[in-house]
Structure 1
Amino acid sequence: SAHVAGFKYQLKSASYQGLLNYLFKGDVTDFDTNPKEADTLDENEDFQLGILKAMIDAGKTIQYVPLFREHPESISAILPCFKGKIMFRIKRTDETLDYLREHKQII
């Protein structure tokens, strides 16, 4: 729908897997049985970059905004799914660019 706005949702391992099952397969299940429970990340861990790398390793086709159109400090990408899309905006570093080039994601 053109009138649906994005929202933020605090993910934990169970809800992350449930959302992926919905996005890729259309499975509708109650995956967040304890909403007060939370997972924590390591202090320097970039969650979006980790998810992007996991999708690359899984062989998913990711669409990138051309780098010359993007802000110099970020890389944007979209992963279309069966029931939605996953949008990425990650910090543009030499290490990230090398990783994406190494995995033939960008030129």
Structure 2
Amino acid sequence: MISIFNSIFSFKGFIGRKRFIAATVIIITIQLLCMLAITENNQAYKALNIIIFISSISMISFLIRRLHDLGLSGWLVIPVLLIEIILILFHIIYLYFLIIIIYSILCIKKRNI
């Protein structure tokens, strides 16, 4: 059990291409299922977010080890994560303004009726 934990959350060493792709598919599937479950069940919101967080850390671990396998530094994962965070923030801001615009249109139509 400890060796499985160390292989998932270890930031040292290497990982082959096939194992990296398999781990990525599994982690993305787990995260998507958790996100679907969050939308259907608000009771398990905290637990599912913890699962998503833990799987994200393991994905970062696999990404760092894949960079090591390519002969690159694991620190190169930081710009990737920063770009990802910026894209998520832009997406959230876009959705926020989209909701405001839709709400405004509905209010205008309701007044005209």
Q: TM-score, normalising length from structure 1?
A: 0.23
Question: More relative contact order in 1 or in 2 (CA 8 Å, sep 6+)?
Answer: 2
Give the helix-richer structure, 1 or 2: 2
Give the strand-richer structure, 1 or 2: 1
